[in-house]
Structure 1
Amino acid sequence: MISNFFSQSKPINFVVISVTLLIVFVITKYMTLDVELDTLLITKQILLFGVCLFSVFVFDFLVNKNNLTKKNSYKILLFVLFIAVLPETLLNSKTLLANLFLLFALRRIISLRSKKDIKKKLFDASFWITIASLFYFWSVLFFVLIAAALVVYVITDVKNWLVPILGVLTVAVIGTSYMIVMNFDTYNYFNNLIDVSFDFSSLNSKRIIIGATILLSFGVWSLFYYIKNLKSKTKSSRPSFSLIVIAAIIAIVIIVISPIKNGSEFIFLFAPLAIIMTNYLEVISEKWFKESLLWILILTPIITLLL
C-alpha cells in the first residue's frame, strides 16, 4: 500500500519520489517543447530539473527541522504529486526559481521560533524574498509572513522590525549594480514589474480546471482538520503551524492577482498545502480513505493526460 510505504522517511522513498519527479518533468517538457533540441536547451532543462529536485529536498529539510509533520515522506510525495496534477508549474523557470528562494525564506522564518540569531534569520528571510521578487514580483507578498512571524513569536524589539529593510536594501544595491554594469534596460523592467489581472480565462483548460479543483478541494477539507487540531499542538509550536496557514493564504492571493495566469503560479501553494494535507493524513484512522486520497492524486495526471 502506498500510504504504508511513505509512512516512514527512508532513502528508498527519496529515490522513488525523485524518479517520479523526473518522469513528470520529462513528459511535461516532451509535450510542451516544440523547438529543436540542442546542447544549450538540454543543459537548461537539466538545470531546471535540478532546481525542482533541490526544492523538494529543501522543503523536506525545513519541515523536518521544525517538526511541522511527523517523520514520514508524505509531504514530499504530496509536493511532487501536486506538480504532476498541475504540470504547468514546470513551464515557467522564473516561478520555479522564485519558489526555491521562498522555501529558503520560509525555513528561516519558521526557525524564528527558537528565538536564537533573530536578526540573522530576519535578514536572510528578507534577502531571499527580495531575490524571489526579482524573478516573480508578487513574491513580495511573503513579507507579510515575516511581519506575521514577528507577531506570533512575540518579537517586540523595534530593531528586529527594521532588519528586513536591510535585507531589501542589500539586494537592491547588488541588483542595481548588476543592471548598470550589464547595461540592463531598467525602464522596461520596472515599467512592467507591477501588474495585476483578474482575468482567469487563460486557465480555462480541462487539465488546469480538474487539477486546481482537486487540489483546492483537498486543501480546504484538510485545512478544516488542520485548524481544528491546532489545539492539540504544544503551545510553543502553534505559531509555526499558524504561519503555514498564512503562507497558504498569501499563495492563493498571488494566484488570484497574478498578471499572467498560465498555471505556473500555483507552485507557491504547494509547500504550505503539502504540510497541511500531511498533517491531515497523519490523523486519518481509516487506511482505505488515506489510500484513496493518494490514489486520486496519482491517477488525476494520468487521466487528464488522456483528455
Structure 2
Amino acid sequence: MISSFFSQAKPIHFVVVSVLLLVVFVVLKTTTLTEAFTVQLFFEQSFLFGVCLASLFVLDFFVSKNNLTKKNSYKILMFGLFVAVLPETIGDSKLLIANFFILLALRRIISLRSRKEIKKKLFDAAFWISLATLLFFWASLFYILIFMALLLFSIADVKDWIIPFAGILCVAIIAASYMIVTGVDFEPYLDGFFDFSFDFTPLNSKHIIMSTTIMLSYGAWASFYYMKNIKHQLKSYRPSFFLVIISSLIALLIILLAPQKNGSEFVFLLAPLAIMMANYLEIISERWFKEGLILVLIIVSVVNLML
C-alpha cells in the first residue's frame, strides 16, 4: 500500500515526507537542545529545518532531471525514512548545511551529461564543495567526484580540468577577505580543522548500532542490484549512475575519517543511499517484500522517536 502510494510522483508526497521530517526534527531538537527558548533560537532552528526541506527538493530535482530513477517518489521517501531511522544525521548544523552544498554540487556534476555550459557547471560544483569544506574539512573529498565526472563523461579539454581550481580559489579569496575584514583570527578557526579519528567508541549505543546497521545493510544490498542494473541503462546515462556509487563511497570514507563520531557524519550518505534504494524498489516484483522493506524502516523510525 505504501509502495503503491509513492509509485508515482505527486505533490502530496512532498507534503507527507516534509511532515515526517518536521516530526523527526522537532523530536530531535526537543530532546537535545538545552538552551532556553528565544525568538533567535526559533529562527535559527527554523532555518535549519528549511535546509532539510531544501535538501529534499534538490535531491528530487536532480534525480528526476537526470533520470536516475523512474517517475516516482521513492527517493524522497527513502531520504525521509533514513533521516527518521538515524535522526542524528540532521543534528549537526554545520554538517547539515555542508551536505546541502554537496547536493547542489552533485546536481551540477551529474548535469555534465548534457555537455552544456560545462565550464560554468564545473566552476559551480567546485564553488559549492569549497563552501562545504569551510564548514567541514572532509567534505573536500567530494572534489574527487568532479574529476571522476570529467573522466566518465570523457571531457578532455585541459581548460575544463583547470576550471574547478578557479572555483576553489574564488571561495578561498572570499573567505580570507571576510575573515580579515571582520577580524576573525585564522588560528582558532583552523584549530582542529584537519582533525580525523578512527575511534568509533562514541557510536557504541544500541540505537546508533541498530540504525546504522539497517542503513548500511540496505545500502549494501541495494548497491548490488544497482550496479547490476547500470548495464541496462542508456550508454549516455551510465556515468551518472556510476557517480552515485562513487559519492556513496566518498561518504563512507568521510564516516571513517570524521573527527567527531555521533551519527551526524552519516548525513552525506543519505542522498546516494536514497537513490540506490529507490532504484532497488523499482525492480522488486514481489509487492509484499517491497512493503516489508519500507515497513521495517517505519517501525525502526517510530521506535527511535519514542525512545
1:254 maps to amino acid: I
CA shift for structure 1 position 302: 1.7
Residue identity opposite 2:187 in structure 1: Y
Q: Assess if the C-alpha contact under 8 Å between 2:79 and 2:274 holds in 1.
A: yes
Q: 2 CA distance for matches of 1:123 and 1:35?
A: 40
C-alpha separation in 2, matches of 1:85 and 1:155: 39
The one-letter amino acid of 1:300's match is V
Are positions 1:192 and 2:179 aligned together? no
Structure 1: segments with no counterpart, 5+ residues:
none
Root-mean-square deviation (Å): 0.8
**Would the aligned equivalents of 2:27 and 2:305 in 1 still touch at CA under 8 Å?**
no
Query: Aligned partners of 2:132 and 2:35: how far apart in 1?
Result: 28
Post-superposition offset of 1:245: 0.2
What aligned pairs does 1:182-261 form with structure 2 within 5 A after superposition?
182-261=182-261
Give the alignment's TM-score, normalised by structure 2: 0.98
Match of 1:41 in 2: 41
Match of 1:303 in 2: 303
Q: Would you identify which runs of 4 or more consecutive aligned residues in structure 1 move more than 4 Å? A: none
Q: Secondary structure at the match of 2:277?
A: helix
CA offset at residue 306 of structure 1?
A: 4.4
Q: What is the distance in 1 between the residues matched to 2:73 and 2:117?
A: 29
Letter in 2 for 1:196: F
User: Partners in 1 of 2:26 and 2:84 — Cα distance?
Assistant: 11
Number of aligned pairs?
307
In 2, Cα distance between the equivalents of 1:210 and 1:75?
Answer: 22
- 1:171 maps to amino acid: V
What corresponds to 1:70 in structure 2?
A: 70
**How far apart in 1 are the matches of 2:185 and 2:298?**
44
For normalisation by structure 1, the TM-score amounts to 0.98
Gaps of 5+ in 2: none
> Is 1:150 aligned to residue 150 of structure 2?
yes
Q: Please say if residues 206 and 304 of structure 1, whose CA atoms lie closer than 8 Å, have aligned partners that are also in contact.
A: no
* Per-residue CA distance 1:170-201 (angstroms, 9 max, x = gap): 00110001000111011121232111100000
Matched, 1:132 2:114: no
TM superposition shift of 1:23 = 0.8
Shift of residue 304 of structure 1? 3.2
Identity value in percent: 59
Q: Deviations over 1:84-136 (max 9, x none)?
A: 01101121000010000000000000000111111110000000000010111
1:86 aligns with 2:89: no
Asked if 1:172 corresponds to 2:168, the answer is: no
Q: How does 1:16-31 map to 2 (within 5 A)?
A: 16-31=16-31
